[in-house]
A and B are shown apart, each in its own frame.
Chain A
Amino acid sequence: MAFVEVKNVEIKGLSVAVPKEVKTVKEQPFFSSNEAENFIAVTGVESSHLAPLNLTLSDLCFEAAQKLLIETNTQTADIDLIMFVSTSRDFYICPNTANILQHRLGLKTSCVAIDLPFACSGYVYGLYVAGSLLQSGQLKRALLLVGEMPSKNQSSKDKTVWPLHGDAGSATLLEFSPSAKNSMKFNLNGDGSGFEAIICRQPGIRNYPVTEDSLKSVTIDNGIERNALQCEMDGSEVFAFAIKKPLEAITALAENFQIDIQQIDYLLIHQANKMIDEKIRKKLKLPAEKVPYSMRYYGNTSSCTIPLTMVSQISQSLSEKVNSLIMCGFGSGLSWGAAHIITDKIICLPVIEV
């Protein structure tokens, strides 16, 4: 367990953009009505947002970032760091999407631009890395852009991933603040022995090159068809990991930093699926009102689930008062982390539809 603290950095604002189009679980052709009901009962997902072919995650993050800059009265010249945390990059090998967004948002060329290819644990890791770069005060302000567009790298004929996931991109404004009373506290973990649990086998250098065969859709099982470029998930392996490790990480975070979990305002768990999250909530003995959910209408949007839950479920509280939050992200890598963050009246925009 890596326990780390980031001092003198605060979250100032937050916005999330989703595509307009919606896909529902019940309309999926690979499900009988009974299967769809069972799926909804376990995952808590009824529908999610789906991007058209020509919309990318960087487009969503661009919209979220641009509105956030306006609503927080931030000048583009004041952004010293832009970080794009996602596996849905414009180009898989190069260049970095953060560079593309730096230019598109009109940020200065001295703005440090970095991609961080994390999936579901990305918001927690992104806050840690961006926060760490700000805390010395040499860089003052960061745009942390976090999200995923699973519809671009998953097969619509794969019932193990397609109905669960949705597309969403977020922007968080972080600021160096020497007067910040509270540090951000993290517990970060990873275990590469599970690297195949959630994996896109191509394109990349390991299974090089992409050939005609890579594009052939293969039937793996009933309701599971995909090609080598499409992401696969070992559902039961991930489930077994997810009901154990995130809970341990939260408990250890609280012990190490002497946080009374019962005293926090909200626990923001990655919206992996409802059964997993409810197990974590019940084991921590937290009342339902302290653990908001957004997966019902947005699905599992990977690294975007935590910011999406914040803006769609608790934005009033976040914008009006101080909140003590524990966040927990977990997924591909395997990688997981928990964070304790105290926010003070952050500017929280309503969900933007693009």
Chain B
Amino acid sequence: MDINEFIEKFAEIFEDTDRAEFQADTKFKELDEWSSIMALNVIAMVDDEYDVLLKGDDIRGSETITQLFEIVKSRK
């Protein structure tokens, strides 16, 4: 699993946020576009792309994109 590819797929979910804002250490919940609906989009993307099921606690417990990536990676 590649972190850059993960960031790319993560960024594609968002429509109004500039691609440059998505970095490994981006605190995604601080983005203006973040919402509970976006959390569902992230869970859906990870299920589709990585066949890994994130739980509500995984999203709540993660601050940065890297942290989320590590959870997904650990379950591959």
Contacts and interface: CB of A to CB of B under 8 A. Distances in A.
Contacts of A34: 16
A236 B47 contact: no
Nearest to A282: B48
A109 to B, nearest CB: 47
Given A240-B54, A279-B47, A235 B40 contact: yes
Given A243-B43, A275-B40, A236 B35 contact: no
Interface residues of A, number: 17
A288 interface: no
Contacts of A159: 36
Contacts, number: 49
A239 B35 contact: no
Contacts of A239: 39-40, 43-44
A234 interface: yes
A244 B44 CA distance: 11
A35 interface: yes
A279 B41 CA distance: 12
Contact of A236 (B16, B39, B48): B39
Interface in A31-57: 34-35, 38-39, 42
A38 B41 CA distance: 10
Contacts of A244: 47, 53
A239 B39 CA distance: 10
A29 to B, nearest CB: 16
A38 B56 CA distance: 20
A42 B55 contact: no
A243 B56 contact: no
A353 interface: no
B1 interface: no
A243 B47 CA distance: 9
B37 interface: yes
B7 interface: no
A78 interface: no
A317 interface: no
Interface in A101-143: none
A39 B41 CA distance: 11
A75 B50 CA distance: 56
13 contacts: A38-B35, A38-B37, A236-B36, A236-B39, A236-B59, A239-B39, A240-B54, A243-B43, A243-B44, A243-B53, A244-B47, A279-B47, A279-B48
Interface of A: 34-35, 38-39, 42, 159-160, 234-237, 239-240, 243-244, 275, 279
Interface of B: 16, 35-41, 43-44, 47-48, 53-57, 59-60
Which 9 residue pairs are nearest across A and B when measured between Cβ atoms?
A: A237-B56, A236-B56, A236-B39, A239-B40, A42-B37, A240-B55, A234-B56, A38-B37, A235-B36
